Structure 1
Amino acid sequence: MQSALLIIDFQNAIFTEPAAWQADLVLQRIQQLIARARQAGMPVVYVQHDEAGTIWEHGSQTWQFPAAITPLPGDFVSPKQHSSAFQNSAFQAGLAERGIQKVFVCGYATEFCMDSNIRQAASLNIYTVVISDAHTTRNRPHMDAPKIIEHHNWVWSEMGQIDVVPADSLPF
């Protein structure tokens, strides 16, 4: 079963004020995950949010990936304009073309794009593993970021077809 590390929307925009919770720590963890995946010969797949008129606008500095995790030539980078990379894009076909049947997911924003992509991947029978300590979000008016992350890690772990594990427990 071909596996891939899937990085959702971890772009420079997450460092704009107020920065996502523990953004620097999560960036460091994702950088380490990329190195481990590449060493294991695992493809690294990037999803890049693109929304005109926002900090996610195509071509802007905040739309780009942080230098520490910039895609390499040959990496699959899939743009998206919606919460889910599977909506109105070639993302699913791109995974299938590469034979990817299992994804290890990390990135931003836990309750929006992470959640949408995780649920959609699992519903399409793509074996889905959430890296519990490698995703983040911002504080919201009704709940702070650590609670949002804790809540979603719990929900995903209770769904049956999604595994939730910390980075140091991954098989690569």
Structure 2
Amino acid sequence: MTTALVVIDVQSALFDPAPRPADADAVLARIAALAASARAAHVPVLWVHHEQAGSPLARHSPGWALAAGLEAAPQDTVIHKTTPDSFLRTDLGERLAERGVRELVVCGYASEFCVDTTVRSAAGRGFAVRLVADAHTTHDKPHASGAQIRAHENATLPAIRSFGVSIAAVPADAVRWTTPPAA
């Protein structure tokens, strides 16, 4: 099965201002390591950027850029989105189909919004999903801390069986890449 790494919304405007997302520095370090190991295994890396005109997330603004410590490599793909669903009104599905991808390794921001929605949308499209349990995050909310929200998503998403594909939550250090066959 061909795999791709999908990194959602790890952008400066979401990670730099205080208060920062839960466990922000450790999550960013894990994402950087995942991207490097994916590239080393010739696994596609896709960076999904949320954007909204007239906001700190306006395309190509400083806030739209990847958070400190992250960098897209020339062979990586950038996807532009305007909703919590990384597939809706984007070319993510087409980019994955071009590469024959059938499994996604997903990480990023925000656990309960864009990560959750994208995982569900991917499963609905027939992709197996490995949610990197310690490489997604969100901000604290009045009803729950960012850590509690992440734990909730890590427990809830793998419990969904109705899509007919596997959704698993795995720690970053357990991610092993399925290397695509040689062309």
Q: Give the Cα–Cα distance (whole angstroms) in 2 for the partners of residues 166 and 34 of structure 1.
A: 14
Does the alignment pair 1:10 with 2:3? no
Q: Give the Cα–Cα distance (whole angstroms) in 2 for the partners of residues 115 and 133 of structure 1.
A: 14
Q: Give the Cα–Cα distance (whole angstroms) in 2 for the partners of residues 57 and 110 of structure 1.
A: 21
Share of identical aligned residues, percent? 38
Say whether the 8 Å CA contact 2:12–2:68 is kept in structure 1: no
Q: Give the Cα–Cα distance (whole angstroms) in 1 for the partners of residues 5 and 149 of structure 2.
A: 23
Say whether the 8 Å CA contact 1:3–1:103 is kept in structure 2: yes
- Cα deviation digits, residues 37-65 of structure 1 (max 9, x gap): 11111111111101123221212111101
Q: Which runs of 4+ in 1 moved over 6 A?
A: none
- Cα deviation digits, residues 2-61 of structure 1 (max 9, x gap): 111110111112221211111111111111111111111111111110112322121211
Say whether the 8 Å CA contact 1:15–1:23 is kept in structure 2: no
The match for 1:145 is 146
Calculate the aligned-residue CA RMSD, in Å.
Answer: 1.2
Instruction: Please give the residue correspondences for 1:8-157 in structure 2 after superposition, counting only pairs within 5 Å.
Output: 8-13=8-13, 14-157=15-158
Where structure 1 has 5 or more consecutive residues not aligned to the other structure, the ranges are: none
**How far off is 1:152 after superposition?**
0.7
Q: Give the Cα–Cα distance (whole angstroms) in 2 for the partners of residues 55 and 138 of structure 1.
A: 17
**How far off is 1:67 after superposition?**
4.8
Q: Give the Cα–Cα distance (whole angstroms) in 1 for the partners of residues 62 and 116 of structure 2.
A: 25
For 1:10, give the aligned amino acid.
V
**How far off is 1:69 after superposition?**
2.0
Say whether the 8 Å CA contact 2:86–2:118 is kept in structure 1: yes
For 1:23, give the aligned amino acid.
A
TM superposition score normalised by structure 2 = 0.90
The match for 1:169 is 174
Say whether the 8 Å CA contact 2:16–2:67 is kept in structure 1: no
Say whether the 8 Å CA contact 1:21–1:146 is kept in structure 2: yes
**How far off is 1:108 after superposition?**
0.3
Q: Give the Cα–Cα distance (whole angstroms) in 1 for the partners of residues 137 and 54 of structure 2.
A: 23
TM superposition score normalised by structure 1 = 0.95
Q: Give the Cα–Cα distance (whole angstroms) in 1 for the partners of residues 157 and 60 of structure 2.
A: 33
For 1:9, give the aligned amino acid.
D
Q: Give the Cα–Cα distance (whole angstroms) in 1 for the partners of residues 151 and 92 of structure 2.
A: 28
